Structure 1
């Protein structure tokens, strides 16, 4: 295994230029002998998240497979912060970067298998679209809503992701998790203490896989529901912009987008960040935003909503790293 140091070329997506990673003399956070993944120091993260903003990770580890990740985290032994990164769709990476190690799960973590009794087993890197499509093809209903979650299994298991009236807590049987010290646990859904967009999984733990329970269904009916969800998202959300998904949780008895709209925030801007004109619970990077612009705009929206309605909005988007 080789340690890499990312230089300035890695900050730009130039459509296929050769990698500008160079070997580094910087000390690795763990002994690297026998590890098979890619370990990069000072790794740019902006290109890995939907907002396309933010600083670098102190370290980025891209494991070769599950065994490689288990070994890496065991060697790390909880001595450094760890953050798992999926699609980066519901996240602000702050401009100061992320301390410790960011773990990026690639294609080796995207498997989906259909089991007996309408059970669907998924690796943490599998996209919601892939999981729901595999279930549809097998005639398994109940997972259609995953088509509407722009993320991976690891992310929406951790945050109890949901859409269109359902959430992960409704279908999760159990999940495999590596704890910060490298211990591997299989946790039943009840142990995650799910609430709205929240679980009891500790910081630094990494979801590796999950099992979901569906029910027998007609693939044609399941597919039609997935198409309905896809069309609803396309018509109502700014999917073709640099965004981070739903910004705020829906307060009890209210819709966040409506509160934001009624507070006069539709189209509100701060630097290069803007409240979407199409869906006011989405913030977008118009092209020049920093993460500070986006987070600052979100805080200003919260202030205006509270001033207008007396309701305190809570962030749904994760905000991580150094300011």
Structure 2
């Protein structure tokens, strides 16, 4: 971006980087750069950006980037990544408050260490709390909506605290205020048996290890489960297990996961996903909906 355009960003205390590579942040390890990458110092810094940035400047938020595909042409405008100023976890008697950048698994571990039950499912979700709230993440029979008390959300008009009922939760979605970014959230939990909590978390981790390609360059579940169906079963029935385009592959271990075998581009991965969708639609009549979030522009 030309230096003359730099002053369009308001004064910020966090780290601002131009033409910042994003691939290393993503679990796929591929994709183009951000025109601007901002890691806000804290919530106040984030509020300054939301309030004062030019209306024409696009804004994109990324978290742990575990369920994200950054296209090869990169992302215009400013990409916000919440990091050190948003990582605290505070344990309370009947739950805990976690900042948006705290990893889901870390929150589950804090709860377990305090003998609080009900949040074990978070140990099976490879993401951060902000993203978990924004997409109503769920696993092993529990979703964020089932345990959330409230979330604090930064908006252009200020910081809001919204009760769970006001967030319009649905399957893998929440109705956040326009331009809103989750900064922290409170989760309910109940005193429980520490040994039983630890055993449940071991069980969840073992199940993930056995059934998902957790050590591969992947983006988690690629497609949402259609009503009454399992995406992986539809993909398998359409003959897509192990399907490849270049270095992009449908996992043979769990075929609702795409894998970067080493040098796959974002275009390869997206083309593979669209090929899977087309084959599933032709075989079953069901159109799969992407669960992986795709951002940015395709390379010209």
- Output the TM-score relative to the length of structure 2: 0.95
Counterpart Cα distance in 1 of 2:290 and 2:178: 17
Partner residue of 1:42?
19
Residue 164 (structure 2) aligns with: 189
State how 1:1-323 maps to structure 2 within 5 Å. Answer: 27-32=6-11, 35-76=12-53, 78-116=55-93, 118-179=94-155, 181-202=156-177, 204-323=179-298
Q: Distance in 2 between matches of 1:77 and 1:162?
A: 35
Q: How large is the RMSD of aligned CA atoms in angstroms? A: 1.6
* Alpha-carbon distance in 2 for matches of 1:119, 1:29: 41
Q: Which digits, 9 at most, give the CA deviation of each residue in 1:62-120, with x for residues without a partner? A: 1122222222322216442222211110011111111211111112211111123x121
Deviations 1:36-57 (A, max 9, x none): 2111111111111000111111
Query: What is the CA–CA distance in structure 1 between the aligned matches of 2:208 and 2:134, rounded to whole Å?
Result: 22
The alignment of Structure 1 onto Structure 2 pairs a total of residues equal to 298
The structure whose RCO (Cα within 8 Å, separation 6+) is larger is 2
- Looking at structure 1, the residues matched to 214 and 249 of structure 2 have their Cα atoms a distance apart, in angstroms, of 14
Structure 2: stretches of 5+ with no match in the other structure:
none
* TM-score normalised by the chain length of structure 1: 0.88
In 2, the alpha carbon distance for the partners of 1:58 and 1:203 equals: 22
Q: Rate the CA distance shift 1:78–1:166 in 2: closer, same or farther, 3 A.
A: farther
CA distance, structure 2, for counterparts of residue 104 and residue 149 of structure 1: 19
Q: 1:165 to 1:192 in 2, by over 3 A?
A: same
Shift of 1:26: 5.1
Deviations 1:260-297, CA, capped at 9 Å, x for gaps: 01110001011221000111000001111111111111
Q: Using the alignment, how far apart are the partners of 1:31 and 1:174 within structure 2?
A: 30
